[in-house]
Chain A
Amino acid sequence: MTVGKTLWKIILVKLFIMFAVLKLFFFPDFLSTNFSTDEQRADHVIDQITRPAQHRN
């Protein structure tokens, strides 16, 4: 079935682009990359959410 082969190719290319390119190089997990423990991550988020809007970032 020709359409089946085409679809498999599209699926494989798509998954490669998504996981081997986009996820790896463009979509790191921000908190996992920048902090090593959950406690640090929690502190960072609490710090973020306890600033008034005009003072965030």
Chain B
Amino acid sequence: MGEIDLALVNWSRAQFALTAMYHWLFVPLTLGLSFLCAFYETIYVKTGNEEWKHLTKFWMTLFGINFAIGVATGIILEFEFGTNWSNYSWMVGDIFGAPLAVEGIVAFFLEATFFAVMFFGWNRVSKGFHLFSTWMVAIGSNLSALWILVANGWMQYPTGMAFNPDNARFEMQNFWEVLFSPVAIAKFTHTTSSSFLVAVMFVFAVSSYYLIKRRHVEMAKRSIIVASVFGLIAFCYASFTGDESAYNNAHRQPMKMAAYEGLFDGGKGADLVAFGILNPDKKLGDDQDPFLYHISIPKGLSLLGMRELNGFVPGINDLLHGNEQENLLGYDRKVERGRLAIADLAEYKAAKKSGDEPAAQASLVKFNENQEFLGYGYLESVEDAVPPIQASFYSFHVMVYLAVFLGLICLAYLVYGIKDTIEEKRWLLPLGILSFFLAMIASQAGWIVAEVGRQPWAIQNMLPVGVATSNLAAGNVMTTFWMFAILFTLLLLAEIKIMLNQIKKGPEGA
């Protein structure tokens, strides 16, 4: 038996991250543009104005390009589960089976069926049915996201399940508890609302380009008005659901919150870092200041995480070594109990194999006492339970700054759109184009906070990524990593080229 193959774990992680991040370039546009197309078409059907029909068809074509190139890129993630993450796949199969089956049967088929009507049904079906199909595509796309995010939410907060020591699987006990887990709901609402904002910025970017070029001016202004209203609503909702996500982090993934706030020593009335530069020399356990420079909002973190000004927010050190005053069990103690759980599970299995039922039951009782700490037993040291702090901290803060900027952009586009002076605001239009790229960065940064911030866990507290992998040679994973990098880059380049061509052609080409 050898050492754990860190190269394998890290290449598997890198491959998953690469695939997920590329996939996520396409998804937010699909989620948001589908609704924008539905809004535009609803106005067309209500007013009977053919200009709205041309506008709808134009945005629908861009939606179609994104959908066609992005479709099935997520399937690669499922390939990776079976090949690179087989232990994990086996253990969560019972939990993920239900939501992913619902996704496949209901959401995807809903989306796919009405997608055909939406694209090929103009002049073939009634206006009303076409509009209904467009709405169904929007709802189906977002329902697909719901089930995937429920699965992801469960990994961040495993609930509604029981671990079966006989087959090493987490088995679902309560579907509704999994579906309505507060983490899953916050994840779905925050992810979709922030994706709507990305799509709104896409509409701003393309429309601003037209306004700068003084082409398709009326179409661009109409598109902007609707998108800016949607964008402001999405921004407010994303802010609200972001607050909910932070509250969930504080209660269910406190290490993630401590990492993205750079909070080493917690306390009551903890400050929220509004701006900060981390000290790169800071190490766990030393007494250096974690920041070279920071501006903080007094008691802001307690308010965000605990919803009370003097609420206690644990820092990394509190979590690692415990805090008696706050009745916080340290990870060092959890690691000990996790190791006991692993040993008891091994004894249980051995006793079962030898047919010694009393010994098996005795081991099972002991295992159940420490089961909730199972994952900690795989960590070689408590420091392994700390996620990358710099990546978490900067991703979180970049996401927040950009989100605020995007909210202001929405407001500016709405105000000048209503005043009908937007084409005169030559300073604003390039910002509108830039905002789409900033929105993409914010969206990716959000996922980095969510996924890097929860390291080392594949399943929070139960299974670290190092145990979730298959026994493969790191070289195999490295090879497929580069294959994906090339494939996805080609797809991205194709999307950009086709999209730019279509935008240059304008609504006449739709």
Q: Assess the B4–A57 pair: CB atoms within 8 A.
A: yes
Within 8 A of A (CB), among B491-510: 491, 494, 498, 501-502, 509
Q: How many residues from B make CB contacts under 8 Å with A?
A: 55
Q: Assess the B168–A49 pair: CB atoms within 8 A.
A: yes
Q: Assess the A7–B68 pair: CB atoms within 8 A.
A: yes
User: A46 at interface (Cβ–Cβ under 8 A)?
Assistant: yes
Report the minimal beta-carbon distance from B11 to chain A, rounded to whole angstroms: 14
Contacts A27-B79, A53-B380 supplied; 15 other A-B pairs, CB < 8 Å: A3-B65, A10-B69, A17-B487, A18-B76, A28-B82, A30-B82, A42-B90, A48-B87, A48-B467, A49-B342, A52-B378, A54-B3, A54-B4, A56-B466, A57-B471
Say yes or no: A3-B498 contact (C-beta < 8 A), given A22-B76, A57-B4.
Answer: yes
Q: Which residue of A lies closest to B480 (CB)?
A: A26
Within 8 A of A (CB), among B17-67: 61, 64-65
Q: How many residues from A make CB contacts under 8 Å with B?
A: 35
Say yes or no: A57-B90 contact (C-beta < 8 A), given A3-B65, A10-B68.
Answer: no
Listed in ascending order, the chain B residues whose CB lies under 8 Å from chain A are 1-5, 61, 64-65, 68-69, 71-72, 75-76, 79-80, 82-84, 86-87, 89-91, 165-169, 339, 342, 345-346, 349, 377-380, 463, 466-467, 470-472, 476, 479-480, 483, 487, 491, 494, 498, 501-502, 509
Report the minimal beta-carbon distance from A27 to chain B, rounded to whole angstroms: 4
Say yes or no: A27-B480 contact (C-beta < 8 A), given A7-B498, A48-B467, A55-B1.
Answer: yes
Of A14, A48, A53, which is in contact with the most chain B CB atoms at under 10 Å from its CB? A53
Name the prevailing secondary structure of the A interface residues: helix
Q: Across the interface, which residues of B come within 8 angstroms of A32, CB to CB?
A: 82
Q: How far is the CA of A14 from the CA of B488 in the complex (A)?
A: 10
Q: Which residue of A lies closest to B463 (CB)?
A: A49
Say yes or no: A27-B346 contact (C-beta < 8 A), given A46-B168, A53-B467.
Answer: no
Pick the contact of A42: B5, B84, B167 (CB < 8 A): B167
